[in-house]
Structure 1
């Protein structure tokens, strides 16, 4: 079931190079998140000095961009599971062409981790681009990121085109919905997405929370109800889509090509059966229960360790108190001896002269 997600982020000075390496899985990020498949990486609109090594462009942005300036802007989008990897690449290329054209240097990558709740693919794309606008002038790395000179462009850097306004963000979100729906339709898929909020769509329900791997692991028993409600709603929506597909797959449009209609019917029949979805949900619930047991075990271990530390502190305190009492008793005995000696001096005989006082 296709889902809509489109968010925009901005990177500060010093973040461009590491982030480009992260989305491309280069350098120290090569083995990060082994369960998150890297499907594709692509760069474009790079200046001559970075055409063969796009990483140099993002490193130059970190080095030469002004201290409080942004070094990149990133569009993060969810991709339809229904599309093949090659079709997803085609989709992202289309979005990049419409959003950036030939005006901004970019690097984008498709990641495909496993969904935290129901398993299966969870493909998404990171579209990272420079706000610096290409104007056809050759500039070295240092000049490329200098302040723009309106009177003499050849003496300054590339002009910045910030897309940080609300209007630009809304336009990007709407464009992504249109591009995604166009590709879904092109490949004969019935799923569609909508960039509007649930309220604007006339849907009266609360937006579904994000259940990432970290949150699933931290879920408590009190939150089971929320998780179960989400899984049940997803199952209901899946059954609704399959029911519509069952209704449509038996109808053959005789006004068109009969062979194409049969092929379309066969494609719809190949959709995953309900028992496969239920099996995925059961596996997700089992995984969740395993996480809960593991967390319970960790909590018991933490409580046992805390009890051990408390016992150790109590034993240490008892030893300190015993030592203090022993020291006090020794001091008392010394005082008693000194008192007796002083009394003997006052009442006893003078041992040197033999006379009594």
Structure 2
């Protein structure tokens, strides 16, 4: 079983351009050499095929208490080639955004712990759903007008969800990403799979593996790193054994 990670965050107002620079490895983040590819889509005409222009307008015109963007991060399988993961990340992005404006960046840094590539995607998207109405940047982010759509902004698909509905939506997104990953693994002849369910939902009592972080890894000795990796490998073999019983 391949480890699975999928995370959704709401982008705070004022953080859009810094987040774009981070995921695209530009500006202060240009020293990183792990960028694999970037892609974007579904931008309105006024944005001029420039994701920065779109999210800059979101910062300026989106209502005060609303997030400027939504951020999603997902792991990609190390078993796939770079080109296969590029295609997979783009397919996942289109499935998650369902026509909404987005910016995708794929990173493949080398793990400080195991020295292996760690491919993953960063998806930055808007909750605004484009329609066939041409709007200005300001009008795009105004409140939706159901009676006269041309007089209001694009409708938001996140509006009106209660806590339970939002939880179910997150689960649906996790499942959607896992399905795309497993389809790609099968298509390219790999037998391993990911599982979007929690350990409890899978009937496992163990705790999830904690995230060490680069700073903690740097403080670990070579012996400590190897012990950690050996324990991880033993757990994965145990998981694979229980899967095929």
Give the TM-score taking structure 2 as reference length: 0.87
Gaps of 5+ in 2: none
- Flag the structure with higher strand content: 2
For the residues of structure 2 that align with 1:235 and 1:12, how far apart are their CA atoms? Answer: 38
Aligned position for 2:124: 128
1:214 deviates by 1.5
The structure whose Rg is larger is 1
What residue is the counterpart of 1:50 in the other structure? 47
Aligned to 2:38: 41
Q: Secondary structure at the match of 1:58?
A: helix
Once the 2 structures are TM-superposed, how far is the Cα of residue 173 of structure 1 from its aligned partner? 0.6
Richer in helix (by share): 1
The 5 Å alignment of 1:138-149 reads 138-149=134-145
SS of residue paired to 2:73: strand
The size of the alignment, in residue pairs, is 235
Larger RCO: Structure 1 or Structure 2 (Cα < 8 Å, ≥ 6 residues apart)?
2
What TM-score comes out, normalization by structure 1 length?
0.61
Does the 8 Å CA contact 1:2/1:79 hold for their aligned counterparts?
no
Q: Cα distance, 1:230 vs. partner?
A: 3.5
Instruction: Check whether the contact 1:61–1:71 (CA below 8 A) recurs between aligned residues.
Output: yes
- Summarize deviations over 1:22-63 as a string: whole Å, max 9, x none: 2112333322xx2x5100100000011223322111111111
Q: Could you say which residue in structure 2 is the equivalent of 1:86?
A: 83
What per-residue deviation string (whole Å, max 9, x for no partner) do you get for residues 310-330 of structure 1? xxxxxxxxxxxxxxxxxxxxx
Which aligned pairs between 1:129-208 and structure 2 lie closer than 5 A? 129-162=125-158, 165-208=166-209
Distance in 1, matches of 2:195 and 2:63, equals 38
**Greater than 4 Å deviation, 4+ residue runs:** 237-243
Q: Aligned-pair RMSD on alpha carbons?
A: 2.5
Q: Is the 8 A contact 1:117 1:211 kept in 2?
A: no
Contact 1:2 1:81 in 2 (8 A): no
| Counterpart position of 1:101 | 98
List runs of 5+ in structure 1 lacking aligned partners: 244-357
